[in-house]
Amino acid sequence: MKKVFSKPCFILFFLALSAFQLNAQTLPLVKSPDGKIEVSVSLSSGLLNYRVSLQNETVLKPSSLGIIREDADLSKTLIFLSSTPVQKVTDNYKMLYAKKRNISYQANKKVYHLRNAKNDLLDVIFQVSNDGVAFRYFFPGKSNDVKYIKQEASSFNFDTTARAWLQPMQAAKTGFEQTNPAYEANYQQNISVTANPPKPGWIYPALFKHNNTWLLITEANLDTNYCATRLQSTERNGKFTVEFPDPREVIKDKNLVPRARLPFYSPWRVITIGGLNTIIESTLGTDLAAPSIKMNTAFVKPGKSSWSWIMSKDDFIVYDEQIKYIDFAADMKWQYCLIDAAWDQKIGYEKAKQLVDYAAKKNVGILLWYNSAGDWNTVKYTPKDKMVTHESRVAEFSRLKNMGVKGVKIDFFGGDGQSVIKYYQEILRDAADYQMLVNFHGATLPRGWSRTYPHLLTTEAVKGFEMITFNQSDANAEPTHCAMLPFTRNAFDPMDFTPMNLYSIPTRSKRKTTSGYELALSVIFLSGIQHFAESPDGMSHVSAPAKEFLRLLPDSWDDVKFIQGFPGKDVVLGRKYGNKWYIAGINGDSTTQKTFDLDLSQFKMKKGQLLMDGSENASFVEERLAFPTDTRKKITVKPSGGFVLVLE
């Protein structure tokens, strides 16, 4: 039977279709400079989403965007106003200590202007580079009152078949003296994106695999107005949302959430996208960080450090023991010696000054430990309450500078709220004025701060070697744990893991890695100051080639190259300094030996020195290579073993 539409019915149908089209808008695209990564943004029924594809394959399904302020909901009833033309972004900068020294960042930028039903304004800014996607929010206009952000609607929506490598966020007010979260846990490896999440969520960087594409999610350019965030996946459907900290993660004024007067920006949400070579070689975590504050960086000198506490613990933070470790650093041609907790009581300022003077004669700089303190912190270790206010910091840093101290290690922060994030950066700004190097311990992930504050030479934010000295379970996990970290925690930010115990641990734990594995960590792990977990006695058992290798090991790097590996299983990478390449590899498998078949022709070198595990603990076999004869080299390493290779 023939159907006939009346004119009124046709008009109603047309209006309904028009309303549907208005409620489902596809906004202008933005692509990477090479055209391989594409971000499409859409608006449907007032909800804003973005989708990411790599070479026409969707790697992130439509994921939500938006912000909820106390005074304005900018996550729904959104209306698209306009978008800017694609703008080319170029940034060239130098890092004093990172995976690369001279860095060039290029991206395509597009800004989407929106408003909600009440005419509150929101800009969503995307920057797409050849190695990933970044987005952040901007609140235009001006306000005399402070605006508070209650929640982000930002999410990352994966296909349910994707796999994940994720570290649980520690619950607030747990652990030693209730100082968590301190980012000190092991990554859960190769789990489903639908796995049951820990209640506090997952930390950054978070690693995912969609088919053959890897994605590493983190945040950058975290300023004093914002809190640090984490990921949550309570829906267990592949969707990960940006979550704010536990309400207990606050200090001083007790402020938790982001707050600022208009106009202001949120941090960048950063997604590195590509192969594992992209994950290892990308610099997006610092590309999106704020440039360096105005400061004199002449005092910022990367280096290596001896450190008595890791081997002899609290009872030996005494004058005579520190003399041994200063001599140890001098013998190994290391630049620093760290004196840890309670030095003010067991050694005292006057004797500490004598240690500084003694060390200076041997070209060794002294670093001193501090408790972050405050009424939120019940840790008893001293010095305490020296960092809490601007006035107390100025007094202490001035005193340390006059003593000749080179830097400070500040411990036990325990939180990601806005008040804590502000405290970190207040310390850094005052330390810069007094030319103090800084190491944050028991701390949050630094999120690119090493670019903004070049004197922040390292930060813990990892389950480091100290845990291995405490617990056999952590010692057992070290091989796979360390094979995870180059792809995650240490991808962008300096990491104070305190690696490389070559001989033994003089505690109840027994190390499960070989000496070759430990030596390789001196190259694989990045830290502005590398605090080595070895004692003078332990080093006396180490064979001569390895000791000489450590004496000549560079303190910073020019470039990095991923050679092969898989998160948690193994990794081989190269770091360049001057006209040399340092190749290091570790086997994360604790039961099976592994053979690495390396093509060395790409490095175009003339000769090489290979160090592998010897037959006895702390012994090494040295092999000399000549090119082009040895351009292809097979290296077999023991279970939980490793090697280093120097090409020149």
pTM of the model: 0.95
Average pLDDT over residues 191-213: 98
Give 630's pLDDT tier (boundaries 50, 70, 90): confident
What's the confidence (pLDDT) of residue 24?
Answer: 81
Q: Answer whether residue 60 shows pLDDT above 70.
A: yes
Distance CA 103, CA 94 (A): 6
Distance CA 529, CA 542 (A): 22
- Contact status, residue 37 vs residue 53, Cβ threshold 8 Å: yes
Q: Answer whether residue 486 shows pLDDT above 90.
A: yes
Distance CA 347, CA 149 (A): 47
Beta strands in 204-353 (DSSP E): 206-210, 213-220, 230-232, 239-243, 259-260, 264-265, 268-274, 303-307, 336-339
Average pLDDT over residues 307-323: 97
Average pLDDT over residues 441-470: 98
What's the confidence (pLDDT) of residue 11?
Answer: 43
- Contact status, residue 574 vs residue 554, Cβ threshold 8 Å: no
Which residue from 392, 323, 398, 325 is spatially nearest to 358, judged by alpha carbons?
323
What's the confidence (pLDDT) of residue 627?
Answer: 87
Give 550's pLDDT tier (boundaries 50, 70, 90): very high
Q: Answer whether residue 18 shows pLDDT above 60.
A: no
Q: Answer whether residue 6 shows pLDDT above 50.
A: no
Q: What CATH number was assigned to the domain covering residues 303-576?
A: 3.20.20.70
> pLDDT tens digits, residue range 320-360?
999 999 999 999 999 999 999 999 999 999 999 999 999 99
What's the confidence (pLDDT) of residue 2?
Answer: 39
- Residue found by looking up tokens 């379970």 in the block: 473
Which of helix, strand or coil describes residue 67? Answer: strand
What's the confidence (pLDDT) of residue 628?
Answer: 84
Distance CA 286, CA 107 (A): 14
What's the confidence (pLDDT) of residue 19?
Answer: 42
What's the confidence (pLDDT) of residue 457?
Answer: 98
- Contact status, residue 285 vs residue 278, Cβ threshold 8 Å: no
Share of the chain above pLDDT 90, in %: 93
Q: Answer whether residue 20 shows pLDDT above 50.
A: no
Q: Between the CA of residue 167 and those of 94, 111, 230, 489, what are the distances in Å? A: 30, 32, 11, 10
> pLDDT tens digits, residue range 138-194?
999 999 999 999 999 999 999 999 999 999 999 999 999 999 999 999 999 999 999
Question: What is the number of alpha carbons within 13 Å of residue 609 lying toward its C-beta?
Answer: 11
Distance CA 523, CA 543 (A): 18
Q: Answer whether residue 563 shows pLDDT above 50.
A: yes
Give 23's pLDDT tier (boundaries 50, 70, 90): low
Angle (nearest 5°) at CA 583 between 580 and 588: 165
Q: Answer whether residue 12 shows pLDDT above 90.
A: no
Architecture in CATH of 29-287: Distorted Sandwich (2.70)
Q: Cite the residue boundaries of each domain of the chain with CATH code 3.20.20.70.
A: 303-576
Q: Answer whether residue 22 shows pLDDT above 70.
A: no
What's the confidence (pLDDT) of residue 396?
Answer: 98
Distance CA 262, CA 285 (A): 26
Tokens (6 digits) for 503? 């001989």
Distance CA 238, CA 192 (A): 8
What's the confidence (pLDDT) of residue 14?
Answer: 40
Average pLDDT over residues 376-396: 96
Give 389's pLDDT tier (boundaries 50, 70, 90): very high
Mean pLDDT of the chain: 95
Q: Answer whether residue 89 shows pLDDT above 60.
A: yes
Q: Cite the residue boundaries of each domain of the chain with CATH code 2.70.98.10.
A: 29-287
Phi, psi of 89 (to 5 degrees): -110, 130
- Contact status, residue 312 vs residue 321, Cβ threshold 8 Å: yes
